[in-house]
Structure 1
Amino acid sequence: MSIRPDSTMFAALYGELVVHPWRDPLVASSFSSDAYSLFVARSSAMGWLTEAEENAVGGLWGMNDAGHDPAPAPAPRSRPPRVAWFQVSLTGPVPDGRPLPVQAFLSCADDVVARIGTAHLRAVRLLLPVQSLDAPAGASSRAGAVLPLLQDAGWFADGDPRLRARVRVTLDGGQDPSVRSAAPGILRWVREFDQDVFRCDAVSVTDDDDLVLEPAVIDEVWLGPAHHRVTFHGTLAEWSLEALGWLAAFLADAGSRHGVVTPLMLTAGLSAEPDTGLG
């Protein structure tokens, strides 16, 4: 299996997680699966896992690590605790005409968390290896990469309007400022398409953030620490990991089109938080 050192995709989920009674060590004597083994099993079953063996083929990613955190003490809304995290490495450049596989990644994470307990999601932090979208020299333009995303957006059609959520989504380039210069172009590009998954109202360029989350990954995995960021304000079709996965892939593709060739840290949170479950 060929895992490139610069292809890390990471997700940290923040909020509350009530562990199922049958997994509570005070109730059940033992259980055999943890977040890591569950993620491996689920992504393997869906055909997304590249096996950890020499010259392995197929799949989207190789497994690095995963875990879920014990229930913390109650925390203020501005500092939601982390409940689970997942880290993989893409096993090759993303094929031309395809987006980053973030929706599959978060769908798998969602299934794993549901096996562990009942979660209420308040924020998500994602490391997006945008550089994996670079087409090799002489290859065709990535102009077709958005088409699968627009087709996938049909999954959210005719959804319950009451599930729509106001969100703020931050893209942070760390020590690379390119995302800031790309922000106006990204906003125009996002508004070009007839899609109802994410309606963007505005973009702001600021280093201020009232959502305080523990660092997702070490600085060495991307161009950290956090510094250059832009924030997109808008409405998401639903507050779910499926919708956030679609949006993350959409924004990663937009960034790549507008000159971003380094990893981006995406942070999504509710602007007006409803009482809703994960997914």
Structure 2
Amino acid sequence: MTSAPDTTLYVALHGKLTPHSWRDPSTAASDAYSLFVARSSAMGWLRDPPHDGCGLWGMNDAAYEPTATRMAWFQASLPAHPSSPSGTSPVQPFLACVRDVVTRLGTLHLKAAQILLPPITHQGAPRTEARLLQEAGWFTDLSPRAKTTIRLTLDSGQNPAIRSAAPHLLTWLRDLKQDVLTDLSLTYDGPITLQPAITDTLWHGPANHHITLNATLAEWSLDAIAWLATLLTHAIHQHNIDTPLLLSTALSPGPTSPTGNR
């Protein structure tokens, strides 16, 4: 199964995944693909068959590579005419499914994540600021020690839109009254580069036009990264960017970065 660049959702996790002691990857009956299909089907998120009109995505591919730096990746296709009015880029349920799969496979030590953010189309209603703030309540009661300094890069590939929108985008993000993503600052450091690079045909690649930010995230977890990705999807829609963007986020070096299991 293949999908157009505007309807591809892709997530890659970089770091280390320590397999559970009871699970032998060479003999296990389930792999990342089958576990992802089973979990997204159980939650009602899988379109099966792909054109049945129900569910959020159709499965493309997935892999678990425990000895590689990119230890797991998942790719799905979004419907061209989504049935859900709540938004057309279901990155939060997608990453929730990814989280559940990797938890079944082993203990995750996440160093970086890469997410392809398809643009919100006119068929779906984007999240409002009020809904984003309501979702941010999930992170309210975290320990202050959970706060994590991160870097993030947004790349619009061959489209220069992200660079011209950067000043207004940063102002909009800073003005939003929330405590999940704070201390935003634009940096002129190079972009976060993760290997292997995402295939150019999955978006309008290769990577070329980007902005890189420093920030503080409420916690370093797939839940918080999913909220961040949803916020950015909404923000770029507000600034009329209608091309897929590649989000890369990583722990910043320094004593405030957590070293525990995430």
In the superposition, the TM-score normalised over structure 1's length comes to 0.85
Quickly say closer, same or farther: Cα 1:16–1:82, change in 2 above 3 A.
Answer: same
Contact 1:4 1:92 in 2 (8 A): no
Asked if 1:18 is matched to 2:18, the reply is yes
Q: CA separation in 2, counterparts of 1:229 and 1:61? A: 27
| 1:193-204 to 2 correspondences below 5 Å | 193-204=176-187
Q: 2:153 aligns with which of 146, 149, 170?
A: 170
Matches within 5 A, 1:51-200: 51-52=48-49, 55-72=51-68, 81-93=69-81, 98=87, 100-130=89-119, 133-136=120-123, 142=126, 145-200=128-183
C-alpha distance in 1 between matches for 2:2 and 2:245: 22
1:232 paired with 2:213, answer yes
Report SS of the residue matched to 1:262.
Answer: coil
- Post-superposition shift, 1:205? 5.1
Q: Please tell me whether the aligned partners of residues 13 and 125 of structure 1 are also in contact (alpha carbons under 8 angstroms).
A: yes
Deviations 1:59-93 (A, max 9, x none): 11110000111324xxxxxxxx1110000111245
Q: CA deviation at 1:231?
A: 1.1
**Where does the alignment leave 5 or more consecutive residues of structure 2 unmatched?**
none
Return the alpha-carbon distance in structure 2 between the equivalents of residues 60 and 146 of structure 1.
22
Aligned-pair CA distance for 1:2: 11
Q: Distance in 1 between matches of 2:43 and 2:77?
A: 17
| Corresponding residue SS for 1:21 | coil
Structure 1 pair 129/48, CA: closer, same or farther in 2 (3 Å)?
Answer: same
Letter in 1 for 2:32: A
C-alpha displacement of 1:212 = 3.8
Q: Which amino acid aligns with 1:253?
A: H
More displaced 10-residue stretch of structure 1: 34-43 or 87-96: 87-96
1:216 shift after superposition? 4.1
| Aligned equivalents of 2:155, 2:188: Cα separation in 1 | 10
The alignment's C-alpha RMSD in Å is 2.3
Is the contact made by 1:165 and 1:237 (CA closer than 8 Å) also made in structure 2? yes
Cα offset, 1:213, TM superposition: 1.5
Q: Say which is worse superposed, 91-100 or 31-40, in terms of deviation.
A: 91-100
Asked if the contact 2:5–2:201 (Cα under 8 Å) also holds between the matched residues in 1, the reply is no
* CA shift for structure 1 position 274: 2.1
- Which moved further from structure 2: 176-185 or 192-201? 192-201
How far apart are the structure 1 equivalents of 2:249 and 2:200? 19
| CA deviation map 1:33-65 (0-9, x unaligned) | 100010011111111111125x41221111000
Contact 2:70/2:196, CA 8 A, preserved across alignment: no
CA, structure 1 residues 145+223, in 2 after alignment: closer, same or farther (shift >3 Å)?
same
State the alpha-carbon separation in 1 of the partners of residues 148 and 185 from structure 2: 15
Question: Could you say what secondary structure the match of 2:186 adopts?
Answer: strand
Question: Normalization by structure 2: what TM-score?
Answer: 0.90
Give the Cα–Cα distance (whole angstroms) in 2 for the partners of residues 153 and 99 of structure 1.
19
Amino acid at match of 2:93: A
User: Which of 40, 45, 49 is matched with 1:48 structurally?
Assistant: 45
Using the aligned pairs only, state the percent identity: 48
* Cα distance between partner residues in 1 of 2:25 and 2:181: 41
Name structure 1 gaps, 5 residues minimum: 73-80
The count of aligned residue pairs is 258
Q: Are the aligned partners of 1:99 and 1:250 in contact in 2 as well (CA < 8 Å)?
A: no
1:3 to 1:123, Cα distance in 2 relative to 1, 3 A: closer
Contact 1:99 1:249 (8 Å CA) reproduced: no
Q: Secondary structure at the match of 1:195?
A: coil
1:22 is paired with a residue whose SS is coil
Aligned to 2:259: 275
